[in-house]
Amino acid sequence: MSSNAQSPVSCDVKELALAEAGKRRIEWAFQSMPVLQTIRKQFIKTQPLAGVRIAACLPVTTETANLLATLRDGGASPVLCASNSLFTQDDVAASLVRDYIIPVFAIKGETSEQYSAHIGSAIDSKPQITMDDGCDLVSVLHAKRQDALEEVIGGTGEASNGAGRLRTMSKEGALRYPVIAINDATSTRLFDSRYGAGQTAIDSIIRATNFLIAGMNVVVAGYGWCGRGVAARAHGMGANVIVTEIDPIKALEALMDGFRVMSMPDAAAAGDLFITVTGNKAVIAKEHFERLKSGAILANAGHFNVEIDLECLARMATTRRLVREFVEEYALRDGRRIYVLAEGRLVSLSAAEGHPASVLDMSLANQALSVEHLVKNHSSLEKRVYAVPEELDRKVARMKLEAMSVKIDRPTPDQEHYLASGPEGT
């Protein structure tokens, strides 16, 4: 049930009365977002987005709220709908409407019909810029709402799986305007995935179980951008980390980083806690369930809930029960008990709050600067997917360092000349 009476703008949010709590949380997050704070100050002065209509389909969180406030302060008229019906924070949606006068169409737990209708409402604002997460807004625009395509000059895409869909559209010649893939920026990917995903995976598992990580055998499946972070954080808390991989280079890297590397069948017999973060399916499956120790805990930190073959585990179980919030016990026929966290869904967002604001600061700064870049340069851009321009990527990292009062060296003119002319010496 939504209550939008007395709304200052058109919206569909759960309850405007939740706004006060949302406002406090948005302001709390903003304190940890110094790069976005700096951009907001600059935008207020220079108004680079004056009159630009923006439709954003993003997680409705405190950090997104601060991004939209920054765009609005830069002169834009943003409208927000959710990029996943489960990740909307209703108090934030309410505050954006009541306190920031930004139209929002998002309710946590909305049906798929509501989800589609909300994307439709965002498109009704006739955007000139789109900001997407998993590519749902862009897909609807291209497939069903071509009437609204005419005025779009560019877009940004946040998530890596969304960028994949955009690249497919681009390859097929279907993309009708230039899009910048935010997740590819080093200042986003390196920090979001390694430090954000690394910390939140461990944080969410501790919140769900209240277990001591020190001394545990923690198996991390996948040693990519996120897996490196998860393994490092688990090690930092005193776990004996075992890495499983299918890529020999990544496996070697894990080995030389000091971790034990094993096949999953071997790791299955040794592990106490398993964290999948591969982007692949059935990484822990029947042959592995058969070897797990009783009491083993299985968690997934990858995007989709397919990394642990839970249908198979359910077939192997005689009974299942929730033993505490987010912890489900599977009692197997041979007497072993296996524990699955958050139904195998992305544990960081299910059992905790997702990435901390200070790491999202950089991705959302890349978003804001990319929107400015698109507004300035759209006429010279092709209808394809672009990376975040390198100078913006570096600018974001520099701004973050400045906010942390960290100074780095600049090369002297002589050093620049030496590097440019091809280093030599004996």
**Binding residues for ligand NAD (CB under 6 A):** 160-161, 193, 196-197, 200-201, 221-227, 244-247, 250, 277-280, 283, 301-303, 346, 348
Distances (CA, A) of 185 to 91, 174, 227: 30, 24, 18
Copy the structure tokens of residue 108: 């946590």
Q: What share of the chain is helix, strand, coil (3-state, %, to 5)?
A: 50, 15, 35
Burial string for 206-237 (b: 16+ CB within 10 Å, else e) reads ebbbeeebeebbbbbbbbbbbbbbbbbbbbeb
Report in angstroms how near the CB of residue 355 gets to ligand NAD at its nearest: 6
Report in angstroms how near the CB of residue 80 gets to ligand NAD at its nearest: 21
For ligand NAD, give the closer residue by CB, 181 or 197: 197
Rounded Cα distance between 43 and 74, Å, is 4
Report in angstroms how near the CB of residue 200 gets to ligand NAD at its nearest: 5
Report in angstroms how near the CB of residue 109 gets to ligand NAD at its nearest: 21
Distances (CA, A) of 204 to 106, 136, 210: 25, 27, 10
Contact 334, 340 (CB under 8 A): no
Beta-carbon count within 10 A of 250 CB: 17
For ligand NAD, give the closer residue by CB, 42 or 161: 161
Rounded Cα distance between 267 and 357, Å, is 34
For ligand NAD, give the closer residue by CB, 220 or 385: 220
Report in angstroms how near the CB of residue 108 gets to ligand NAD at its nearest: 19
Q: CA torsion sign, 346 to 102 to 379 to 144?
A: positive
For ligand NAD, give the closer residue by CB, 221 or 374: 221
For ligand NAD, give the closer residue by CB, 15 or 343: 343
Report in angstroms how near the CB of residue 192 gets to ligand NAD at its nearest: 6
For ligand NAD, give the closer residue by CB, 124 or 343: 343
For ligand NAD, give the closer residue by CB, 170 or 244: 244
Tell me which residue of 129, 127, 179 sits closest to 158, measured CA to CA: 179
For ligand NAD, give the closer residue by CB, 12 or 245: 245
For ligand NAD, give the closer residue by CB, 104 or 159: 159
Report in angstroms how near the CB of residue 177 gets to ligand NAD at its nearest: 25
Q: What is the DSSP string of 243-288?
A: EE-S-HHHHHHHHHTT-EE--HHHHHHH-SEEEE-SS-S-SB-HHH
Report in angstroms how near the CB of residue 276 gets to ligand NAD at its nearest: 8
Q: CA torsion sign, 339 to 342 to 345 to 351?
A: negative
Tell me which residue of 227, 206, 198 sits closest to 351, measured CA to CA: 206
Q: Which residue is nearest to ligand NAD (CB)?
A: 224
Chain position carrying tokens 């040794």: 270
Report in angstroms how near the CB of residue 193 gets to ligand NAD at its nearest: 5
Burial string for 301-316 (b: 16+ CB within 10 Å, else e) reads bbbeebbbbbebbeeb
Report in angstroms how near the CB of residue 284 gets to ligand NAD at its nearest: 9
For ligand NAD, give the closer residue by CB, 56 or 277: 277
